[in-house]
Each structure stands twice: as structure tokens, then as C-alpha cells.
């Protein structure tokens, strides 16, 4: 009877040890997946930061006063006001 009890406890301990080993393997796999995911997110963040910088630069370039003035003169055929002219309308 005593050997049966020892055998029973040993088998239970082996089963728990096996479950714990499986859990450790699962956790290590999750860590590796999260590490790869983190590396991918850092690369994506760097790309988005670069795109954001380029878009801000383009926005500043397009909204600069010199660019707006050149567009007005070339595309819209506007002229710069050099002399003030008063126009009076009579009734």
C-alpha cells in the first residue's frame, strides 16, 4: 500500500511538472511573438515619423507666402498693387 501511495504522488508530481513545463514553453513563445511584434511596430513608427516629417515640410512649402504670391502672379495673372486708385461711384 505504501508503494502505491508513493507511486500515486510521484505520478501526480510528474503530471504537474509536465503542465508547468508546457506553460513555460507557451509563455516563452508569447514573449518571442511580442518581441517580434514590438520590432515591427518600431519599424512602422519610424516610417510614419518620416512620412509625417515629409508631409509637414511639404505643407510649410506649399503655404509659404512666396509660393502663394508666385502662384497668384503666374496662374491667376494677378498683379501687385503699386498705386492706390480711388473710384467714386455717382448716383
Cell of 21: 513545463
7-16 pLDDT tens trace: 999 999 999 9
Q: Per-residue confidence at 68, pLDDT binned at 50, 70, 90? A: confident
Distance CA 42, CA 35 (A): 11
The total of other beta-carbon atoms located within 10 Å of residue 85's CB is 5
Q: Reply yes or no on whether the pLDDT at 80 is more than 80.
A: no
| pTM value > 0.85 | no
Q: Reply yes or no on whether the pLDDT at 24 is more than 90.
A: yes
Q: Reply yes or no on whether the pLDDT at 40 is more than 80.
A: yes
Amino acid at each position: 500500500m505504501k508503494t502505491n501511495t508513493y507511486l500515486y504522488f510521484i505520478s501526480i508530481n510528474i503530471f504537474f511538472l509536465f503542465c508547468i513545463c508546457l506553460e513555460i514553453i507557451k509563455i516563452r513563445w508569447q514573449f518571442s511573438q511580442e518581441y517580434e511584434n514590438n520590432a515591427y511596430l518600431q519599424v512602422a513608427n519610424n516610417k510614419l515619423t518620416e512620412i509625417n516629417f515629409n508631409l509637414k515640410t511639404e505643407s510649410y512649402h506649399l503655404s509659404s507666402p512666396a509660393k502663394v504670391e508666385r502662384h497668384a502672379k503666374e496662374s491667376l495673372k494677378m498683379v501687385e498693387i503699386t498705386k492706390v486708385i480711388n473710384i467714386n461711384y455717382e448716383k
